[in-house]
A and B are shown apart, each in its own frame.
Chain A
Amino acid sequence: MPDFTRTWDVLVVGGGNAALSAAITAAQAGASVIIAEHAPKTMRGGNSRHTRNLRALHPAPTDVLTDSYLEEEYWDDLLRVTGGRTDEALARMTIRASQHAPGFLRDCGVVFQPSLSGTLSLSRTNAFFLGGGKALVNALYRTAEKLGIEILYDTEVQEILLEEGFAREAIISWRGFPERIRCKSVIASAGGFQANREWLRQYWGDAADNFQIRGTPYAQGTVLKNLLAQGVQEVGDATQFHAVANDARSPMCDGGLAMRLDCVPYSVVVNENVERFYDEGEDVWPKRYAIWGRLIAQQPNQRAFAISDSQALHDYLPSVFPPLKANSIGELATALGLDAAKLAKVVADYNTAVQPGTFQGGKLDDCRTQGITPEKTHWARRIDQPPYHAHPLAPGITFTFLGVKVNDRARVMMSDGKPSANIFASGEIMAGNILGQGYLAGFGMTIGTVFGRIAGEEAAKLVRN
């Protein structure tokens, strides 16, 4: 039984990468640290357990990163995906610090590997965790245990009590029992609110019921909401989230990365009304996969169907759920519950519009259509080689953009513009400071590690003074 009478130097809320990076740094600086993780031990680690890599600046090749990736290019990449909705000072600070993130994690026992296969070839910019995020999370927990950090699983922080701007204690549910944790500082690393359907319904209505949550079901945003209600300044668009095209047959939460489908550029995609709604071949998939989640979320019943034929099968990574197969488009439509005549016409019109070209999967080729709306601008091949294939699609939500505002020392900002006395934040809960919109693969873990380390350092410094 943990000692609930004790006053801890640092309470870390959450149990993902951002939380553990903070907790480990604070403990290494001599602070007494307690971690409250809502999930049970077997499901610990939040969205971080589903990740695969992080993006790191490097001036020269390392054992796991090729070539070099410098500040200006990193910054340009970020500027492009966010459309300028970022904080340049914070972003550049993060980019510079990202150079040391892999080393920190390695010292915590995380093993990196050179990227071998996979769709998004990112081995220049991103360092891959051997075994993925769960292996990373395991290593961080092992390090935390060795440092003597008290780790409470199955422990939800329900409220952080502020007294004249100071966080003094937290009300928690520890294995279902109401308890309190007293502390001298708090680091909030509890992720986003994407798994909170009630909250999503406020912006998305009934559509929210059809969203698949790709990661942890514990991302309820309880702490985020609680802090915002107590005068903490918010950042990011509450209505927005990052979403990808998932297989519609995936579980409603925690399906992880393997549920995503990469078949869109090699298919035509229709909604339940059997209408195409967007250029499937607009750009290479790594640059487009993130907009398709939102596109599907805006379709009737949040459903779409990617239709292709047997020649496309080997152009994309295999899917967990096999495609539905049929020998005619009509049969395929029936299997999907779509209007057979309509689908036959959509495919026939598309086939007629396909222009001659040389197909090159993965590269912007010259295979395009002419005369349909919307056009398909690359990888347009006639769909005429049975068996025909269909993958049903649904939006898979990765994370939400709403967060708490922080300064460059990871301190949470109050709505009066002053930094909070002793509350810090790291990870998804503050990522909106830097990622106002869009996403850069591997940047979530970078933000978590960088701000986790700063928060841990600052919290330890604060309590020692």
Chain B
Amino acid sequence: MSETDTVVEARRQMEICNACRYCEGYCAVFPAMAMRREFTGADLTHLANLCHGCKGCYHACQYAPPHAFGINIPQTFATLRAESYAEFAWPAGMGGLFERNGTLVTAVAVLAPVLALLLTMALADPATLYTAQSGVGAFFRVVPYWLIITLAGGSFGFALLAMGQGARRYWRGTAQKPITSPAPVAEAAFDILTLRNLGGGGHGCNDVDDSFSATKRWLHQAMFGGFMLCFAATTTGAIFHHFLGWKSPHAFLSLPVQLGFWGGIGMLIGTTGLLWLKTVTDPVPVAKKLLGGEYAMLGLLWLIAASGLLLLGLRHTGAMGVLLALHLGLVIGFFLVMPYSKMVHGIYRGLALLRHAQEKRAA
């Protein structure tokens, strides 16, 4: 990790925290910090990615601004995390996309569906595009099956490849410890799936001000769970199509539609709630520079969920064609921009938790 101003600032703050240690009970960051006396750039990157931004340590800090020491761990670590996303992005050089990330994600959220719509209009027969379609293969009369597979599958494959490479680069850049036993992996998986570190040591975190709540944790779970359900919906749809020969559209009570429906609801609740939290929270412990990208990504996820649900509701009407194109465009755009957005935080956070679980066992 290069020696940026943020790295220097994070080191200054960690050296104060390491002499203080009042926050040792909040999250994994402080025990991990206490294992060290000196902080390399790689150490700080690791600590920053361990931080879940719960803000507990900011509101508890007697050295928080306006104190001269100006300790603001959540803000500093959020900035450092963003720098690490850029540093480890693949292909190298694409990290620049994390600058003005809000503009990028917004542009994708607008351009992708517009392009998808234009492409569909160019390819599809207007007679089918704007009229109600029903029966087996209704969707593919609007957008051909091969095109969906190529674009969605291709963009998804690219996202996986780019994020996988990023993960590899991150692991090499911060840890380089081989994974030798399953226990740390299980622990890290448990921690990330339960968002244990957003628990503030058990009683919730500081979502808005110095009062404690579990709102952010639950909203994030709703969004993440919803996202995974939608993913499961697509996968079961594909299995139905390829292996069982059951073609879409499926009945409302069928497995893929149910998964997608509840997933979409979860994503809508989660993203709406998180957007609202961002607007009402105390702005001091927040990294303002990153807000654009975060708002834009939440907005994009909201649009994906909303367009998906709308498509489900109106799939037997003449609006289906246009909605399908929009929804697909949003999803493909999302996959393309995913490796260069806030979405990578889950991967690096998971790796940081894994490394922490390893270190705890070694200590």
Most buried by B among A42, A49, A134: A134
Give the residues in chain A near B211, CB-CB below 8 Å: 142
Q: Does B23 contact A (CB under 8 A)?
A: yes
List which B54-83 residues lie within 8 A (CB) of chain A: 56-57, 59-63, 65-68
User: When A111-B203, A258-B16, A320-B19 are in contact, do A49 and B31 touch as well, CB less than 8 Å?
Assistant: no
Main secondary structure of the interface of B (DSSP, over half): loop
State whether B56 touches A117 (Cβ < 8 A).
no
A contact residues, range: 20 to 34
State whether A318 touches B15 (Cβ < 8 A).
yes
Q: Which residue of B lies closest to A52 (CB)?
A: B22
Q: Does A310 contact B (CB under 8 A)?
A: no
How far is A256 from B24 in the complex, measured between Cα atoms in Å? Answer: 17
1/0 per residue A184-226: CB within 8 Å of B? 0000000000000000000000000000000000000000000
Choose among A116, A135, A259 the residue that contacts B60 (Cβ–Cβ < 8 A): A135
User: When A131-B25, A318-B37 are in contact, do A256 and B56 touch as well, CB less than 8 Å?
Assistant: no
1/0 per residue A134-163: CB within 8 Å of B? 110010001000000000000000000000
List which B1-53 residues lie within 8 A (CB) of chain A: 15-16, 18-26, 31, 34, 37
Q: Does A317 contact B (CB under 8 A)?
A: yes
User: When A113-B201, A131-B56, A320-B16 are in contact, do A256 and B63 touch as well, CB less than 8 Å?
Assistant: yes
State whether B23 touches A254 (Cβ < 8 A).
no
State whether A135 touches B16 (Cβ < 8 A).
no
A-B contact count (CB 8 A): 84
State whether B60 touches A131 (Cβ < 8 A).
yes
User: When A118-B21, A320-B19 are in contact, do A142 and B210 touch as well, CB less than 8 Å?
Assistant: yes
State whether B68 touches A251 (Cβ < 8 A).
yes
How far is A313 from B15 in the complex, measured between Cα atoms in Å? Answer: 15
A128 to chain B, nearest CB (A): 8
Total interface residues in chain B, CB < 8 Å: 31
State whether A138 touches B19 (Cβ < 8 A).
no
Q: Which residue of A lies closest to B15 (CB)?
A: A320
Most buried by B among A128, A134, A138, A258: A258
Give the residues in chain B near A322, CB-CB below 8 Å: 15
List which A414-449 residues lie within 8 A (CB) of chain B: none
1/0 per residue A305-318: CB within 8 Å of B? 00000000110011
Give the residues in chain A near B31, CB-CB below 8 Å: 116-117
How far is A258 from B14 in the complex, measured between Cα atoms in Å? Answer: 12
How far is A259 from B15 in the complex, measured between Cα atoms in Å? Answer: 11
State whether B26 touches A131 (Cβ < 8 A).
yes
State whether A131 touches B203 (Cβ < 8 A).
no
A309 to chain B, nearest CB (A): 16
B21 to chain A, nearest CB (A): 6
Q: Which residue of A lies closest to B23 (CB)?
A: A131
Give the residues in chain B near A130, CB-CB below 8 Å: 25-26, 60, 201
Q: Does A132 contact B (CB under 8 A)?
A: yes
State whether A113 touches B60 (Cβ < 8 A).
no
State whether A116 touches B16 (Cβ < 8 A).
no
Q: Does A340 contact B (CB under 8 A)?
A: no
A320 to chain B, nearest CB (A): 5
Most buried by A among B15, B19, B21, B57: B19
User: When A258-B19, A318-B15 are in contact, do A134 and B62 touch as well, CB less than 8 Å?
Assistant: yes
Choose among B19, B25, B26, B60 the residue that contacts A319 (Cβ–Cβ < 8 A): B19
State whether A113 touches B62 (Cβ < 8 A).
no
B232 to chain A, nearest CB (A): 37
B239 to chain A, nearest CB (A): 47
How far is A318 from B63 in the complex, measured between Cα atoms in Å? Answer: 17
User: When A50-B62, A318-B15 are in contact, do A111 and B201 touch as well, CB less than 8 Å?
Assistant: yes
Chain B residues with CB under 8 Å of chain A are 15-16, 18-26, 31, 34, 37, 56-57, 59-63, 65-68, 201-203, 210-212
Known: A128-B25, A320-B16. 6 other contacts (CB 8 A): A131-B23, A131-B60, A134-B61, A257-B20, A257-B22, A318-B19
- Nearest 6 CB-CB pairings of A with B: A131-B60, A132-B22, A113-B25, A135-B60, A258-B20, A138-B210
